[in-house]
Amino acid sequence: MAYILSAGVSIPKYHIRQEEAEQLVKEIFPRTDREMGRLLPAFKNSDIKERQFVVPVDWFRDNHEFFERNAIYEQEAVPHAVTAINNCLKNEQLLSDVVHPGEIDCIIFASSTGIATPSVDARCMNELPFRSDTVRLPIWGMGCVAGASGLSRAFEWLKANPDKSALVICLEFCSLAFQKDDHRKSNFIGTVLFGDGAASVLLAGEQSPLRTRMRKTSIPKIVSASSRLKKQALDVMGWDVKEKGFHVIFAKSIPQLVETFWKKHFQDFLQILNIQADSLSYFIAHPGGMKVLQAYEKLLPDAGVKLKYSRKILHQHGNMSSPTVLYVLKSVMEEEELAGETSILTALGPGFSSELLALEWVSG
């Protein structure tokens, strides 16, 4: 088993309200009045209040080569990852005492919005006093699903190493994939939804001494995880890599896939667990966008309550890709006491892929 002890985030400094983003898009995406009239309502319908970026608004007005975008990624990734790690290991709401980086046995780092070799986790080990024998597992290319997948991989590693601890770090700068001259609808929708952010989650195995650091009366324990890939669906979500960098692939079929592909995965998972959907407490879902949340709502009893933290994070930060579900998890852990209850954590991503984790909230 794996116990989730703490979570932390790093929020970029440039805050852009959705009204500002809408006005910017009107300026830099010249389209006919008819086209704009059809597309602009997406900003108001998104239920996003603001987003945060690692670059200022004026950056979006110019064209940028891939090397320039990636240089910003490398420059900003380590400070934000370090901040998220420190915020997690020193979270006074969730931990009774600080966890030292030297007490971490495994680092799982996920990102898909930039390229760095050595990977960002190795660079973080040079900034913070992690042990030199810390196991590293960098993950690239999983996009929005990587937050949930990172937790699943940590769960599996801790089952094999029950006296150890693991740190999952997800970091994405979606703003760096903004393409001024890409007039496809998927790129337009990306300008409506995506933001930047980083998050970190601390997990401990069944026999780890770090379990004594929990402050809350209840914490989530991962009891099961499941991955599923829909074959022949590579064109649903991802990047198209061109000279100027990443161009977003974002199919309009994603909400329908929630109601078909994900629904079957979810039902099969609940059957294995022998639990009913109406017995679940909060549903910790990656909020890909309002249409994705609405698709979940069709399938879940009391969805308005169970998805309230996913809606909250979408409203405050937009879709940050992989860290987003960890932001949702952090909010639930800090604001709720759910001893004896069960939650499901889930995310969807490129492939087309689905990840599900069952969380039992336990005391002590």
| pLDDT at 344 (0 to 100) | 95
Architecture of domain 219-362: 3-Layer(aba) Sandwich (3.40)
pLDDT at 282 over 90: no
| Domains 2-213 and 219-362 are alike in CATH topology | yes
Question: pTM above the 0.85 mark?
Answer: yes
Report, as residue numbers or ranges, the catalytic residues. 144
| 305-309 average pLDDT score | 91
Nearest Cα to Cα of residue 124 among 110, 107, 141, 147: 107
Query: Cα angle vertex 292, ends 189, 257, to 5°?
Result: 105
Q: Specify the pLDDT at position 238.
A: 77
pLDDT in tens, 148-203: 999 999 999 999 999 999 999 999 999 998 887 777 777 777 778 899 999 999 99
For the chain, what percent of residues have pLDDT higher than 70? 98
Per-residue pLDDT tens digits for 86-131? 999 999 999 999 999 999 999 999 999 999 999 999 999 999 999 9
Name which of 220, 224, 205, 215 is nearest 361 in CA terms: 220
Domain 2-213 has CATH 1.20.1250.20: no
Per-residue pLDDT tens over the stretch 16-69:
998 888 888 777 776 666 766 777 777 778 889 999 999 999 998 888 899 999
pLDDT of residue 31: 66
- Residue boundaries of the structural domains of the chain: 2-213, 219-362
pLDDT over 90 (residue 347): yes
Question: Largest alpha-carbon pair distance within the chain?
Answer: 63
Residue 239 has a pLDDT of 79
Share of the chain above pLDDT 90, in %: 67
Q: Rounded to an integer, what distance in angstroms lies between the CA atom of residue 175 and that of residue 57? A: 10
